[in-house]
Amino acid sequence: MSLPTHYRGLLVEAAEDGTFSRSITDLPLDGLPTFDDEVTIRVHYAALNYKDGLSATGNKGVTRNFPHTPGIDASGVVVASKHPDFQEGMSVICTSYDLGMNTSGAFADYIRVPGSWVIPMPDGYDLRESMVQGTAGLTAGIGLYQMERMGQNPDMGPLLVTGASGGVGSLAVAIYSKACYEVWAVTGSADAHDYLRGLGAKEILSRKDVIDTSGRPMLKARWAGALDTVGGDMLASVIKGTKPYGSVAVCGLVASPKFDASVFPFILRGVNVLGVESAELPMAVRKEVWAKLASDWRVPMAEGMYTETDLQTLSDTYVPAILEGKTKGRVLAKLA
């Protein structure tokens, strides 16, 4: 396939005064990184994540060197490959690893990555649907995968999802409901209740319904397990209210990276706290979770689950919005 000499991408640049700017510009294709087993992908859809918002505004904790193109989630079609598992014309997904962090990312027409970062599109999935899931859906899926490894099952009782109107939370509500769990959604957004019920939530709780300020080491056991996207006091309270032998999967820290809890829920109820990590997830597990997202856990694309936009609007409108916690569901940039 004949490839262009230049492609369009979102470029984040640093000024001498320490400020950062974003622009949609033409970039040289030969400026993409090279790898021994490289796969070059024409990006069709890219999804916006909180980490992308940080990279797009110059956060050195995510991206060390600028200029840089963010975007940790991409779906597209292989246009060139040095990896034996990927041929020209294959539809593929690439999420996580170093994509969009210090490797030129998905907010562009093309990416070039190691073949070990790429998975073939699961049967029956398409390029858009895979990005409605993206790292957010993968994270929610890993949470359930981890919980079920520890014995979680629908007969134990409801699963709580905190931060339920966000990208990870909303997909967790839909995925867990599809997996036959009764889902209780926790949100601070009053206008998200109907949306969450449409995704499958059986109960809607406010933050004050969950966060405990009494200082008690344990609370009445109300839910059988949880996915927490918030951290801080929310996570501590969720743990204290979990039923015996339930699991709490932890994937976020929007409130705080710290939480204050006693050992009592662990030694008196056998509660498990499980970390959810998607960036370096072993490929075998990654493929297994994606396969479940495309089959047993596959959710219909409900109204409001995602917003499709162009790259310029993503940069101008949705990058600030995701950092301010003002996005609902997933935001996708359509690139092809």
- Residues 167 and 213 occupy one common structural domain: yes
d(CA 305, CA 315): 20
Given a cut of 90, whether residue 235 has pLDDT beyond it is yes
Domain count for the chain: 2
Give the end of a domain, one of 224, 255, 275: 275
pLDDT higher than 90, residue 287: yes
Tens-place pLDDT, residues 128-183 = 999 999 999 999 999 999 999 999 999 999 999 999 988 899 999 999 999 999 99
Task: Tell me phi and psi for residue 73, to 5 degrees.
Answer: -125, 125
pLDDT (0 to 100) of residue 27: 97
Same domain for 252 and 148, yes or no, is yes
Q: Are residue 267 and residue 204 in the same domain, yes or no? A: yes
Q: Clarify whether residues 165 and 205 are in a common domain.
A: yes
Last residue of a domain, one of 227, 259, 275: 275
Residues 152 and 96 in one domain: no
Considering the domain boundaries, does residue 147 fall inside one? Answer: yes
217: CATH:
3.40.50.720
User: Could you give the 3-state DSSP secondary structure of residue 54?
Assistant: helix
83: three-class secondary structure by DSSP: coil
Band the pLDDT of 326: cuts 50, 70, 90.
confident
pLDDT reported for residue 12: 98
113 and 149 both lie in a single domain:
no
pLDDT (0 to 100) of residue 300: 86
Asked, for residue 297, whether it belongs to a domain, the answer is: no
Structure tokens at 47: 């999804």
Tens of pLDDT, residue by residue over 45-64, are 999 999 999 999 999 999 99
Indicate if the pLDDT at residue 302 is higher than 80.
no
CATH number of the domain enclosing 29: 3.90.180.10
User: What is the spatial distance between Cα 193 and Cα 201, in angstroms, rounded to a whole number?
Assistant: 9
> Mind listing the pLDDT tens digit for each residue in 75-104?
999 999 999 999 999 999 999 899 999 999
Per-residue pLDDT averaged across 228-239, rounded?
Answer: 97
Asked whether residue 288 is domain-assigned, the answer is no
Kindly report, residue by residue over 239-264, the tens digit of the pLDDT: 999 999 999 999 998 889 999 999 99
Tell me if 160 is assigned to some domain: yes
Integer Cα distance of 161 and 168 in angstroms:
9
Tell me, yes or no, whether 174 and 117 share the same domain: no
Is 235 a member of any domain? Answer: yes
Q: What's the whole-number mean pLDDT along residues 268-294?
A: 95
Rounded Cα–Cα distance for residues 251 and 249 (Å): 7
pLDDT score recorded for residue 305: 84
Residues 117 and 66 placed together within one structural domain of the fold: yes
Provide, rounded to the nearest whole percent, the portion of the chain with pLDDT above 70: 100
Asked whether residue 290 is domain-assigned, the answer is no
Q: What percent of the chain has pLDDT over 90?
A: 90
Cβ atoms within 10 Å of 127's Cβ, excluding its own: 20
Q: Are 328 and 189 in contact (CB under 8 A)?
A: yes
**pLDDT, position 167:** 86
**What average pLDDT score do residues 264-276 get?**
97
Q: Where is the domain boundary, 275, 291, 323?
A: 275
> Distance between terminal CA atoms of the chain?
16
Residue 108 — pLDDT band, cuts 50, 70, 90?
Answer: very high
299 in a structural domain: no
Q: Are residues 116 and 25 in the same domain?
A: yes
| Same-domain check for residues 115 and 157 | no
Average confidence score pLDDT of the chain: 95
- Residue 93 and residue 141 in one domain: no
pLDDT of residue 3: 93
User: Bridge partners of 309?
Assistant: 333
| Residue 124 banded pLDDT, cuts 50, 70, 90 | confident
- Residues 171 and 264 both lie in one domain: yes
Q: Domain containing 173: what range?
A: 134-275
pTM equals: 0.92
Report the SS3 class of residue 193: helix
